Structure formats: structure tokens, C-alpha cells
Amino acid sequence: MLAELSPALIAEVERAAKLLASKQRICVLTGAGISAESGIPTFRDKQTGLWENYAAEDLATPEAFARDPKLVWSWYQWRRQLVADKKPNPAHDALAQWQQHAAKSGQRLTLITQNVDDLHEQAGSRVTHLHGNLWQNRCSQCNTPYDNGSGMEENSKRDVSFNEDLLTCQHCGDYIRPDIVWFGEALPVEAWRAAEDAAANCEAFISIGTSSLVYPAAGLAQLAKQNGAKIIEINPHPTPNTIVDITLAEKAGVVMPLLIQKILGRVEHS
Ligand code: OAD
């Protein structure tokens, strides 16, 4: 693995590890890129990105659902099927390992994701979801969480059927929709409050696998920077973001295990 990395990149990983090991409050924001090596398509990568092949305004807005609920529901059922068997990759695993270690060493590591998959949880992380959860549904009218009547935890993944028939709310009879934040909708209040708090109060902010184009999530790095944090970006195609202090231009699944190994080595010896 190390042989794949250039000496310049290894030096940057070392610099990032040194910085991160010296900080107590760290905020990590992940995007679709961290799940790419697990086989889940991103949104904006050329050719493979979902928004390269589908129109977001037809599938991921409240207006689209009002216009054609069946089309939107079918698309999300297809995405669920696509994601159902996907497993965490070494980047998710490394973050979970760091989070577990941080709990003991006194570092405060807050993990925030824009992703609607549950690969961070599968890896063992505690994570705040800014854009909802692919495995949950709610009423499009009264917002009541959808209860599939199984008596099991609400819409746990194993209960989801990929049937494309529309479901209706047990309370008001309106259509059930995925519990995902669509374009033009507000983020979940508690999740956003926690994210803003972590970004504004961190000493280092790490942005992993996101194009940093979708606000308000994209503004968290700026908020951190304004409050004095150092910014690290991990992305094989770095964004043209001028606030970044250290760029690790490599796939997250390749660089994260090395970065975390170096951080934990330093924390243990400090
Ligand atoms: P994007 O698809 O916009 O960006 C993915 C980023 O990941 C790109 O910058 C890629 O270069 C990078 N990338 C690709 N493979 C990678 C790898 N192996 N390791 C690290 N980085 C890699 O995805 P997001 O920024 O997450 O919203 O998109 C933000 C939001 O837009 C999503 O949450 C979604 C979408 O519309 C909702 O669903 C509400």
C-alpha cells in the first residue's frame, strides 16, 4: 500500500498526522467520496456520478415527489437495492478506530456526514447525518415516521422491501417518502445544530470525499476556518478551495488507514 504513495504525499500525511495528534477538538465531514470505494456511486464524479446520469430536479425535490411520486419512490427503492449489500471500506474503518481511541485519549472527534448510507455506523462510528437516512421513511404530509408494522425498530434495513408500489401513511393517508433531505428543504434541526457547534469549536476540520458544493454543509469548513481551525482535505481530485491548509490528494480508502495509524502512534507516544 505504502509503495503506491509518492514520497511527497507521505510527507503531507505525516504533516497532517502531526497536526491532528496535537489537537483536542476535531471535526470530520464526509461526503459521497468516502463510500465510493465501497461501490456506492457519488453524485458529481464524471461518468459515474448519479447527477451525471439523472436530473436531480426530477428526483430529489419536494416538487418532483408532488409531480410524480411513483418515479421518485422507484428511484429511491433502486438506490436502496444498490446500497443494501455494501460494506464499509478501510476509510470508514480507520475513522471508527480513531473515534474509539479518541474517547479514551481525551480527543473530541465529531463525525458528521452528508451521506445517507449507514457505512459509518456499520464500521462502528457514532455519526450525525445531515441529509437524512436512506433506510427511513416518513409521511410526505404529516411527517409521521413510517411504521412497517413488523414491531421491529423502525424501518431497520432488513425490513425494507424494494417493492416499487407507493406506500401510504397510517395516520393521514398521504404518500410515504424517504426520510432524506431534498434540494430546497431544511436540514434536520438537531443534526445541523450539532454540526455547527462542532465546526465552530474545533481546532482542526477534515473534509473527506465531498465536492463542497452543497450548502449549508459546504459552509462548515468556512465556519471552522473563521474560528481558527486548520483545514485538511482528503480527495483524489481536490476542490479549488482556498481555505485548505493541507491537501491529501488520494482516495480516502488508501490514505485514511495510514493517516490514522500515524495519528494514533503519535497520540500514544505523547
Ligand atoms: P459529490 O458527488 O458532489 O462529490 C464527491 C467527491 O468525492 C468528489 O469531489 C470526488 O472527487 C470525491 N471522491 C471520489 N472518490 C473518492 C475517494 N475514493 N476518496 C475520496 N474522495 C473521493 O458528493 P457530495 O459532496 O457528498 O445530497 O455531495 C453533497 C450532496 O449532494 C449529497 O449529500 C447529496 C447530493 O445531492 C442529498 O442527497 C441531499
Q: Write out pLDDT tens, residues 47-59.
A: 889 988 889 889 9
97 in contact with ligand 1, CB cutoff 6 A: no
Alpha helical stretches, state H, the chain: 7-21, 33-36, 50-53, 56-59, 62-67, 69-83, 90-105, 119-123, 189-200, 219-226, 252-269
Give the pLDDT confidence score for residue 269 in this predicted structure.
66
CB 6 within 8 A of CB 89: no
Which residue among 115, 127, 129, 235 is best mutated to probe the pocket of ligand 1, counting the most ligand atoms within 8 A of its Cβ? 235
Give the pLDDT confidence score for residue 163 in this predicted structure.
84
pLDDT at 80 over 60: yes
CA–CA dist 182, 72 (Å, integer): 11
pLDDT at 2 over 80: no
Length of the chain: 270
The separation between CA 109 and the C-alpha centre of its own chain, rounded to angstroms, equals 15
CB 174 within 8 A of CB 141: yes
Active-site residue among 92, 120, 129, 131?
A: 131
36 in contact with ligand 1, CB cutoff 6 A: yes
Give the pLDDT confidence score for residue 160 in this predicted structure.
67
Q: Tell me how far the alpha carbon of residue 264 lies from the centroid of ligand 1, in angstroms.
A: 27
Q: Tell me how far the alpha carbon of residue 33 lies from the centroid of ligand 1, in angstroms.
A: 5
Residues contacting 248, CB < 8 A, separation 6+: 9, 12, 13, 16, 232, 233, 234, 235, 255, 259
Give me 232's grid cell: 485538511
Q: What percent of the chain has pLDDT over 70?
A: 93
pTM score of the predicted model = 0.95
pLDDT at 109 over 90: yes
CB count, 10 Å around CB of 24? 13
Catalytic residue status for 131: yes
From 48-52, 191-195, 221-225, the region with the lowest mean pLDDT: 48-52
46 in contact with ligand 1, CB cutoff 6 A: no
Q: Write out pLDDT tens, residues 131-162.
A: 999 999 999 999 999 976 554 444 456 556 78
CB 166 within 8 A of CB 77: no
In Å, what is the CA distance from 189 to each residue of 90, 130, 131, 192, 194? 31, 9, 11, 5, 9
Give the pLDDT confidence score for residue 270 in this predicted structure.
62
Domains of the chain as residue ranges with CATH: 7-40+87-131+187-268 (3.40.50.1220), 49-85+134-180 (3.30.1600.10)
